[in-house]
Structure 1
């Protein structure tokens, strides 16, 4: 028996990804004028595929026991290879970074709104529909 549905766990993973992506974008923007700096990006798809293929089933002796699952949230941060936008070998394109920043912010806000909705539903159930 799970305390929360799989939706909340998925939303939590999405928020962890968005946070890591925000950090990578912030690092890229902060180093836009640093000579030789290579832009970073966060990969989510490879992490998701790995997690989906490596489920860790726990041995439960009673239906009331909680399922154990992997809590690893280390997404792959990569350096964009063989890309130079500036004469100083810097690979940060500020226009792309600002667009990624806006996209990531919209993604994060939608996840937070959905999570708030789930918790409001739980709160309504606890109060008895009042």
Structure 2
């Protein structure tokens, strides 16, 4: 009987890929904190993961597929930039914790598989 690694790590592989994409978006926001007219973007992680799972795990796609959203600022700036440093830093940190959590679950799954193969 073969082991399907895709089934073993299930949602966590898609979550890791989606978190990596969100990291890129948030890093871009942070890099453009002082760029006049820059519009902060973000990914709705829960909705995106739900879409990927309902499509049978066909992969994560961002960009023009409607996954990226504009962030509405709490305090709009005079130059039209919608990046708020504190908000972006908090989102980045929260995303990093989520990435680490998913990675830990994947590691635990592989450790369990290794123990099962070794007969422990």
Q: TM-score, normalised by structure 2?
A: 0.81
Q: 1:98 to 1:20 in 2, by over 3 A?
A: same
Equivalent pairs counted in the alignment come to 115
Secondary structure of 1:10's aligned partner: helix
Greater helix fraction, Structure 1 or Structure 2: 2
* Correspondence for 2:58: 71
- Structure 2's unaligned 5+ residue stretches are none
* Correspondence for 2:45: 44
More displaced stretch, 5-14 vs 20-29: 5-14
- The whole-number CA distance in structure 2 between the counterparts of 1:110 and 1:52 is 18
Runs of 4+ in 1 over 6 A off after TM superposition: none
More displaced stretch, 1-10 vs 24-33: 1-10
Task: Give the number of the structure whose alpha-carbon radius of gyration is greater.
Answer: 1
**Where do residues 24-43 of structure 1 align in structure 2 (5 Å cutoff)?**
24-43=25-44
Aligned Cα RMSD in Å?
Answer: 2.4
Q: 1:111 aligns with which of 102, 109, 118?
A: 102
Q: 1:53 to 1:109 in 2, by over 3 A?
A: closer
**Where do residues 1-130 of structure 1 align in structure 2 (5 Å cutoff)?**
3-4=4-5, 6=7, 8-51=9-52, 53-54=54-55, 69-75=56-62, 76-80=67-71, 85-129=76-120
Q: TM-score, normalised by structure 1?
A: 0.75
